[in-house]
């Protein structure tokens, strides 16, 4: 599986045939075809009877297609798929995405179909993504084969994360929520049953893609673990790799009913291997989104010393507890501010503010006090990372703080990460931060966890001798 | 501190004097006075010059008040407070809420003022909440002294949680977010500097309040830990007690600048004591809200065996991993379904659904398959708790599922807890579930954590020989 794949036709097809395209609304072939109209590729619907699909001339079968085709997308049922894929291969189609389920995941009969598909690949070289996959979404070009609701407007903003997932729902449902507060995706790849193309192939592909700086993978099995790890180690010098390997527990593994990759088995082995090869682990759908968002947007810290600025004392205390208790899986510590920094903070703020880290500027502070304090903390050489608790209910704070903090995020070589919450406005405020390049969360736990990923990544880069995002 | 307090005048005052009430908008005395107009109590604004405040006749000073007053609320500055409280006491006022900051938390001068306030209490018996507090919010009557934005419309729905907090911001900001997806509060109490009334007093008060079934406490210090623990042990037989004790780490304790309660010191000691006395711990602002919401709404499980129903395989696997890995702090395990249950699940669902726990009914299932499966699982004697992953993007599911699941939650003696997410509609869907009596979350981690609190609580009740919520 380690030969180099030709994946350009999959991501940048000049021509796409859609076998199963239909004028019947609510059908998958209709949803996908209508989405592809925005992809910029020449479209060739294939339909046995219709003369046109949504105004585009249709062809009765694959053999009738008038030119060489880069990518075929099939939405027809499993039993009809093999013969159509064979016809595609014979016609010179370079790559195919097979959407239908009903293959290996249902049992022996489906596995037999998969073997036939592999044989077609072996004979003709046609690359196959799937079957049983949501396919590809590339916000840059508008290529989009995802047929379920996926918050596409939000995700279409683009970014530098490649999100590769063995489970369609993990991709769409989790990313749909992540996009509420901002999530920048370069590409989405649904692996499906991955009879040919797998996580390693796309890892390698996105290594070459200069617009990608972070690769997030949800996997229930990893094919050919050794090759995967070796490639990951090389790539992790330059790009963050986060893997959510589901099926950690015995019962979880049992639930992973399909293929068992070579990395399955002891979760301790997976953990050790990932650590050694520079892969960062996530354990749930929210964590993989939070981690990839953070790693794709922020510079890496030079060390693990965190300063916390808050206008609400209790939040500073809880955050300090998480940082100092090395939880969750953190190697962070509270920065010790130098005397000059502390004096300056005292000058900036009201007499009852605390200049000790966590710095509590109190709910009587103003926007100006906030950013002056932030600037002071950033200039302290004993600080590697700053967590900013930003509240909007105290009367001295306004939404101007969003821009003011964003300026510091933009100009600082130290990572700054924001916590904010304000009742029903919470997600909207986080989205405003995101739109200005600021990573933010509305839970202390998630905020510290995101910082942990940054710090872990900086250690990985140092250990591997790489250069990270810089 | 263990003498029984007379707190009725604080929660159910028939008459309230507001010293500092003003017609000047944006002033705290204005905000509080205008909120109190909905409280049903007779209001007596005290103002040196104005003849009326917002149309209510004002009095020049406390001595001029025309009748005995249950509750005085002062919004005047710290330096003017002592003489006013003395006048209140002399006039027979039974309880006072002191909103102003500038007392013990700013140093020696403020501590001296607090000693003077305590002396007034000792002489006259007037109960004092605060100073430096947001006071009280009682949705039932509309008594509300919180002067910052606090999502009051959502919180005002009422419920059975008493939320006692030493930090105003932890109360208002965290509860503001919790109320987006539904949070049912019987009462909010801000302790402030708690020079007299403290967590133990309110713990005892809410023990007697039949409408409260769950007491949540955010504390940075606990006064007289031994008395607190003894009372907690008695109360925990009947009502859930969740304590977020901030300042777990040395740096966190340092950040807790004010009083150091007797329970401060080693966090391991706190942990052991809480465990022994039936108190459940939360570690952050989100967890205390999630836990109290869950414990206040759901019946307790008879055991720790969890069944998981999902339409997305990956979510079932990740959930299983969390359950089986005893994380976070869980003693849960996956239920083993009996053969009859599995056969029935297979009959109900499509051929490629999985009848093994986690039960994956697949994205091709329908509302009816979902609830038939749920009914079948609930009737299996090997199942104590059910987690339902409810997705709305698959075509066979509709919002009818909310009502259908809610009916089961209402009629089942086993706790059912929901996970759902659907892009921008997520919070709205969770709120719809909540409005129908269903506890739900949009993260696997938080869902399993909530189940953990239920299971832990059921063990506590068994150990203490209590009867829980039943």
Query: What is the ipTM metric for this complex?
Result: 0.95
A-B C-beta contacts closer than 8 Å: 224
For residue A342, which residues of chain B lie inside 8 Å, CB to CB?
Answer: none
Strand intervals (E) in A203-260? 214-219, 240-245
Is A444 at the interface with chain B, CB within 8 A?
yes
Q: What is the pLDDT of residues B362-387, one digit of tens each?
A: 999 999 999 999 999 999 999 999 99
Q: What is the pLDDT of residues B72-127, one digit of tens each?
A: 999 999 999 999 999 999 999 999 999 999 999 888 999 999 999 999 999 999 99
Same domain, B288 and B312: no
pLDDT of residue A1: 44
B137 located within any domain: no
pLDDT of residue A421: 96
Average the pLDDT over B410-419 and give the result: 98
For residue B111, which residues of chain A lie inside 8 Å, CB to CB?
Answer: none
B469 located within any domain: no
Q: Which of B148, B249, B325 sits opposite A325 (nearest CB)?
A: B249
Chain B closest-CA separation from residue A240 CA (Å): 22
- A186 pLDDT exceeds 60? yes
Q: Determine, for residues A312 and B169 on separate chains, whether the beta-carbon distance falls below 8 Å.
A: yes
Q: What are phi and psi of B259, to 5 degrees?
A: -50, 145
Same domain, A441 and A316: yes
pLDDT of residue B328: 62
Q: What is the pLDDT of residues B34-73, one digit of tens each?
A: 999 989 999 999 999 999 999 999 999 999 999 999 999 9
- A61 pLDDT exceeds 50? yes
Q: Determine, for residues A315 and B247 on separate chains, whether the beta-carbon distance falls below 8 Å.
A: no
Total number of domains in chain B:
3
CATH code of the domain containing A216: 3.40.50.261
* Other CB atoms within 10 Å distance of the CB of residue B320: 30
- B465 pLDDT exceeds 60? yes
Contact B320, A255 (CB under 8 A): yes
DSSP secondary structure of B343-400 = HHHHHHS-TTSB-SSSEE--TT--HHHHHHHHHHHHT-TT-SEEEEEE-SSSTT--TH
From A190-204, A265-279, B433-447, the region with the lowest mean pLDDT: A265-279
Contact B184, B296 (CB under 8 A): yes
Average the pLDDT over A318-347 and give the result: 91
- A322 pLDDT exceeds 50? yes
Half-sphere exposure of B183 (CA within 13 A, CB side): 33
Q: Determine, for residues A423 and B177 on separate chains, whether the beta-carbon distance falls below 8 Å.
A: yes
Q: Determine, for residues A314 and B287 on separate chains, whether the beta-carbon distance falls below 8 Å.
A: no
Contact B353, B315 (CB under 8 A): no
* Other CB atoms within 10 Å distance of the CB of residue A181: 23
Same domain, A362 and A308: yes
**Average pLDDT of the residues of chain A:** 93
Same domain, B290 and B304: no
Chain A closest-CA separation from residue B66 CA (Å): 35
Is A56 at the interface with chain B, CB within 8 A?
no
Average the pLDDT over A366-390 and give the result: 98
Q: Which of A249, A421, A423 sits opposite B320 (nearest CB)?
A: A249
DSSP secondary structure of A52-93 = EETTEE-BSSGGG-SS--SEEEE-S-HHHHHHHHHHHHHTT-
The answer to whether the bond into B131 is cis (omega within 30° of 0) is yes
Q: What is the CA radius of gyration of chain A?
A: 25
Is B187 at the interface with chain A, CB within 8 A?
no
Q: Determine, for residues B252 and A320 on separate chains, whether the beta-carbon distance falls below 8 Å.
A: yes
A470 located within any domain: no
- B2 pLDDT exceeds 60? no
Contact B246, B219 (CB under 8 A): yes
- Identify the residue with better confidence: B158 or B457: B457
A137 located within any domain: no
pLDDT of residue B262: 39
Average the pLDDT over A87-106 and give the result: 95
Same domain, A212 and A239: yes
Same domain, B339 and B424: yes
pLDDT of residue A258: 39
Same domain, A285 and A160: yes
Chain A closest-CA separation from residue B87 CA (Å): 28
Token pair 């995802």 in the structure block, residue = A146
- Identify the residue with better confidence: A38 or B409: B409
Contact B307, B379 (CB under 8 A): no
Same domain, A289 and A305: no
pTM of the entire structure? Answer: 0.95
Contact A72, A81 (CB under 8 A): no
Per-residue burial over B119-138, b = 16 or more CB atoms within 10 Å of its CB, e = otherwise: ebbeebebbbbbbbbbbbbb
Same domain, B303 and B442: yes
Same domain, A169 and A125: no
pLDDT of residue A151: 65
Contact A356, B255 (CB under 8 A): yes
Measured between alpha carbons, how far is residue B55 from residues B21, B22, B32, B45, B50 in Å?
12, 11, 15, 10, 11
Q: What are phi and psi of A52, to 5 degrees?
A: -150, 155
CATH code of the domain containing B29: 3.40.50.720
CA dist., res. B75 & res. B28, Å (int): 7
pLDDT of residue A328: 62
Half-sphere exposure of B1 (CA within 13 A, CB side): 22
Average the pLDDT over A436-458 and give the result: 97
Domain that holds residue A234: 148-297
B141 located within any domain: no
CA dist., res. A285 & res. B386, Å (int): 20
For residue B198, give every residue at least 6 positions away whose Cβ sits within 8 Å of its Cβ, in sequence order, or none: B1, B191, B223, B224
- B443 pLDDT exceeds 90? yes
CA dist., res. B306 & res. A443, Å (int): 27
For residue B167, which residues of chain A lie inside 8 Å, CB to CB?
Answer: 312-314
Q: Determine, for residues A167 and B363 on separate chains, whether the beta-carbon distance falls below 8 Å.
A: no
CA dist., res. A38 & res. A41, Å (int): 8
Q: Which residue of B has its CA nearest to A364?
A: B101
Q: Tokens for A420, please give them.
A: 């904010």
- B29 pLDDT exceeds 70? yes
Token pair 């003489």 in the structure block, residue = B83
Q: Which of B104, B132, B160 is the last residue of a domain?
A: B132
Measured between alpha carbons, how far is residue A343 from residues A96, A356, B349 in Å?
65, 10, 68
Closest CA to B462 of B300, B326, B316, B319: B300
Q: What is the pLDDT of residues B162-199, one digit of tens each?
A: 999 999 888 889 999 999 999 999 999 999 999 999 99
Is A261 at the interface with chain B, CB within 8 A?
no
pLDDT of residue A467: 66
For residue A26, which residues of chain B lie inside 8 Å, CB to CB?
Answer: 395
Average the pLDDT over A152-158 and give the result: 77
- B33 pLDDT exceeds 90? yes
Q: Which of A150, A257, A444 sits opposite B354 (nearest CB)?
A: A257
Q: Which of A105, A154, A249 sits opposite B324 (nearest CB)?
A: A249
Show the CA angle centred on residue A84, arms to residues A78 and A88, nearest 5°: 135
A469 located within any domain: no
- A82 pLDDT exceeds 80? yes
- B151 pLDDT exceeds 70? no
A102 located within any domain: yes
CA dist., res. B192 & res. B101, Å (int): 9
For residue B322, which residues of chain A lie inside 8 Å, CB to CB?
Answer: 283-284
* Other CB atoms within 10 Å distance of the CB of residue B106: 18
Chain B closest-CA separation from residue A254 CA (Å): 9
Q: What are phi and psi of B71, to 5 degrees?
A: -135, 130
- A412 pLDDT exceeds 90? yes
Same domain, B304 and B429: yes
| Through-space distance between the first and last CA atoms of chain B, rounded to whole angstroms | 32
**Which of B31, B103, B255, B320 has the highest number of chain A CBs within 10 A, making it the mutation to test binding with A?**
B255
Same domain, A94 and A175: no
Q: Which of A281, A297, A313 is the last residue of a domain?
A: A297
CA dist., res. A435 & res. A433, Å (int): 6
Average the pLDDT over B269-293 and give the result: 94
Chain A closest-CA separation from residue B346 CA (Å): 14
Q: Which residue of A has its CA nearest to B177?
A: A423
Closest CA to B160 of B209, B200, B233: B209
**Which of A133, A253, A314 has the highest number of chain B CBs within 10 A, making it the mutation to test binding with B?**
A314
- A263 pLDDT exceeds 70? no
Is B260 at the interface with chain A, CB within 8 A?
no
Closest CA to A34 of A22, A46, A42: A22
Q: Which of A102, A170, A248 sits opposite B325 (nearest CB)?
A: A248
- A260 pLDDT exceeds 50? no
Q: Determine, for residues B287 and A218 on separate chains, whether the beta-carbon distance falls below 8 Å.
A: no
A128 located within any domain: yes
**Which of B181, B284, B361 has the highest number of chain A CBs within 10 A, making it the mutation to test binding with A?**
B284
Q: Which of B297, B330, B363 is the last residue of a domain?
A: B297
- B256 pLDDT exceeds 70? yes
**Average pLDDT of the residues of chain B:** 93
């Amino acid at each position: 599986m380690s030969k180099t794949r030709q994946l350009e036709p999959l991501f940048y097809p000049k021509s796409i045939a859609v076998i199963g395209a239909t004028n019947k609304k609510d059908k998958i072939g209709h949803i996908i075809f209508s989405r592809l109209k925005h992809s910029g590729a020449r479209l060739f619907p294939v339909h046995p009877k219709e003369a046109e699909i949504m105004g585009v001339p249709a062809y009765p079968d694959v053999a009738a297609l008038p030119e060489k085709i880069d990518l075929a997308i099939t939405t027809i049922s499993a039993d009809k798929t093999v013969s159509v894929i064979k016809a595609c291969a014979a016609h010179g189609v370079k790559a195919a995405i097979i959407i239908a389920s009903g293959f290996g995941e249902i049992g022996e009969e489906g596995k037999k179909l998969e073997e036939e598909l592999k044989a077609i690949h072996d004979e003709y070289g046609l690359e196959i993504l799937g079957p049983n996959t949501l396919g590809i979404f590339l916000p840059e070009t508008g290529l989009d084969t995802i047929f379920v609701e996926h918050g596409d407007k939000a995700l279409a903003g683009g970014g530098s994360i490649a999100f590769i997932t063995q489970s369609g729902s993990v991709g769409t449902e989790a990313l749909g929520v992540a996009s509420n507060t901002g999530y920048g995706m370069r590409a989405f790849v649904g692996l499906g049953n991955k009879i040919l193309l797998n996580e390693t192939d796309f890892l390698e592909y996105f290594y070459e893609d200069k617009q990608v700086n972070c690769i997030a993978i949800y996997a229930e099995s990893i094919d050919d673990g050794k090759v995967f790890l070796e490639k990951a180690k090389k790539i992790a010098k330059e790009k963050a790799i986060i893997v959510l390997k589901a099926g950690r527990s015995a019962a979880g593994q049992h639930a992973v009913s399909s293929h068992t990759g070579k990395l399955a088995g002891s979760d301790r082995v997976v953990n050790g291997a990932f650590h050694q090869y520079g892969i960062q682990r996530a354990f749930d759908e929210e964590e993989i989104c939070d981690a990839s968002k953070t790693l794709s947007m922020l510079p890496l810290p030079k060390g693990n010393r965190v300063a916390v600025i808050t206008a609400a004392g209790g939040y500073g205390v809880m955050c300090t507890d998480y940082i100092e208790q090395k939880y969750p899986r953190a190697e962070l510590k509270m920065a010790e501010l130098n005397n000059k920094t502390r004096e300056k903070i005292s000058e900036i703020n009201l007499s009852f503010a605390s200049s000790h880290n966590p710095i509590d500027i109190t709910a009587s502070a103003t926007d100006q006090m906030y950013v002056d304090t932030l600037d002071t903390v950033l200039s302290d050489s004993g600080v590697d990372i700053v967590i900013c608790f930003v509240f909007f209910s105290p009367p001295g704070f306004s939404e101007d703080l969003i821009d003011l903090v964003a300026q510091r995020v933009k100009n600082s070589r130290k990572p700054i990460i924001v916590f904010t919450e304000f009742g029903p406005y919470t997600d909207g405020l986080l989205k405003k931060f995101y739109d200005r390049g600021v990573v933010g969360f509305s839970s202390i736990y998630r905020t510290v966890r995101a910082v942990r990923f940054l710090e872990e990544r900086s250690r990985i880069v140092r250990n591997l001798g790489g250069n990270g995002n810089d």
